[in-house]
Amino acid sequence: MKLSVYIPVSWILLAASTFAYSVEHFGLSLNSQKLYNAKSLPSEVIRVGIEKPKDALTFTIKLASSERPHQSILLFSDEKGLDYAVFPDYNAQKHSLAIQIAVSSLPTALVRQGKITASLVIASGDDVNENIHTKVAELTCSDELRETTKEKQAERFGVLPEIHHIFKQDESTVNAIVPLAFSAVAGVLTLVLFVVWSSIFGENNSNSSGGTYKTGFLVALVAVEHTFLRYYLGASIFTTISHVLLLVAPSVFLGSKALNVMAKSRAA
């Protein structure tokens, strides 16, 4: 009788193990360094030290069953309610799962906790296969890595430091004597020019019938010089142009007459 009782129980256990998910191979690597490589899930949680954000973890899982599970998740958690799930790629030909995840892709809030638990979840929605939900690794983040995830305090409106404005200093110029000296030389040359014009156009004006043209032309030249002098002293360009236009016609007329008179007087 005892034998007849034990045989059905053993059949039930054998059937349960047949329909349960099982792992033929499990591997974990940090960068290029293999931390675990065996034909079964680790019996103890693998301790992994993370130093830099560029560090990358590689998980490889080979399933004994050819049936693709409904869910395959690698769950990173701080075991306080903050979870982050990633989904490994499934290879139908090899019946395997694989994923490589960089530490920089994990949420900063999770890395800031210091310790992260990685759990493997392989499950289906039916009651045929027994699901797998087990911790496989524990990640310990270094202090330097945690420092990089600290949040910066947001700037708030409030009292700001007093602004002290430094006005631009006036550009350095030449000594005032230099422009005064040039102005004096220009004034003297202008007077000399007026004297020369007066001697040329004014000689024998009393006996010459063209004395009026010569005097008028000399006055026109003085007016033109005065107009440009006012422009250099600050008159607007429009005022200067209008005055020059008014002087062009009389200057040309009187100049042509004065030059004709001088040519005739020299020919005589």
Span 72-110, pLDDT tens digits: 889 999 888 889 999 999 998 888 999 999 988 888 888
Stretch 134-146: mean pLDDT, rounded?
Answer: 88
Q: What is the pLDDT of residue 100?
A: 92
Q: Are residues 181 and 106 in the same domain?
A: no
In a domain, 168, yes or no: no
Q: Kindly report the CATH number assigned to the domain that includes residue 20.
A: 2.60.40.10
Q: Tell whether the model's pLDDT for residue 19 goes beyond 70.
A: no
Q: Are residues 113 and 184 in the same domain?
A: no
Longest dimension (CA), the chain: 169
Stretch 125-137: mean pLDDT, rounded?
Answer: 78
Stretch 232-246: mean pLDDT, rounded?
Answer: 87
Q: Are residues 140 and 9 in the same domain?
A: yes
In angstroms, the CA 235 to CA 237 distance is 7
Q: Are residues 117 and 184 in the same domain?
A: no
Range of the domain at 29: 2-147
Q: Are residues 140 and 243 in the same domain?
A: no
Q: State both tokens at 28.
A: 């974990």
Q: Quick check: helix, strand or coil at residue 124?
A: coil
Q: What is the pLDDT of residue 15?
A: 39
Q: Is the dihedral of CA 168, 173, 177, 183 positive or negative?
A: negative
Q: What is the pLDDT of residue 210?
A: 65
Q: Tell whether the model's pLDDT for residue 129 goes beyond 80.
A: no
Q: What is the pLDDT of residue 135?
A: 92
Contact present, 51 and 144 (Cβ < 8 Å) = yes
Which pTM was predicted? 0.49
Q: Among 144-158, 159-173, 216-230, 233-247, which is the least confidently predicted range?
A: 144-158
What is the pLDDT of the chain when averaged over all its residues? 80
pLDDT level of residue 2 (50, 70, 90 thresholds): very low
Q: What is the pLDDT of residue 138?
A: 92
pLDDT level of residue 71 (50, 70, 90 thresholds): confident
End residue of a domain, out of 95, 130, 147: 147
In a domain, 155, yes or no: no
Q: Report how many domains make up the chain.
A: 2
Q: Are residues 136 and 206 in the same domain?
A: no
Contact present, 146 and 51 (Cβ < 8 Å) = no
Stretch 5-10: mean pLDDT, rounded?
Answer: 39
Stretch 7-22: mean pLDDT, rounded?
Answer: 45
Stretch 237-256: mean pLDDT, rounded?
Answer: 88
Q: Are residues 125 and 223 in the same domain?
A: no
Q: Are residues 134 and 181 in the same domain?
A: no
In a domain, 169, yes or no: no
Q: What is the pLDDT of residue 127?
A: 62
In a domain, 84, yes or no: yes
Q: What is the pLDDT of residue 146?
A: 84
Q: Pairing state of beta strands 115-123 and 71-77?
A: antiparallel
pLDDT level of residue 169 (50, 70, 90 thresholds): confident
Q: Tell whether the model's pLDDT for residue 174 goes beyond 80.
A: no
Distances (CA, A) of 10 to 22, 64, 76, 93, 145: 19, 21, 37, 33, 52
End residue of a domain, out of 105, 127, 147: 147
Q: Are residues 194 and 139 in the same domain?
A: no
In angstroms, the CA 22 to CA 169 distance is 82
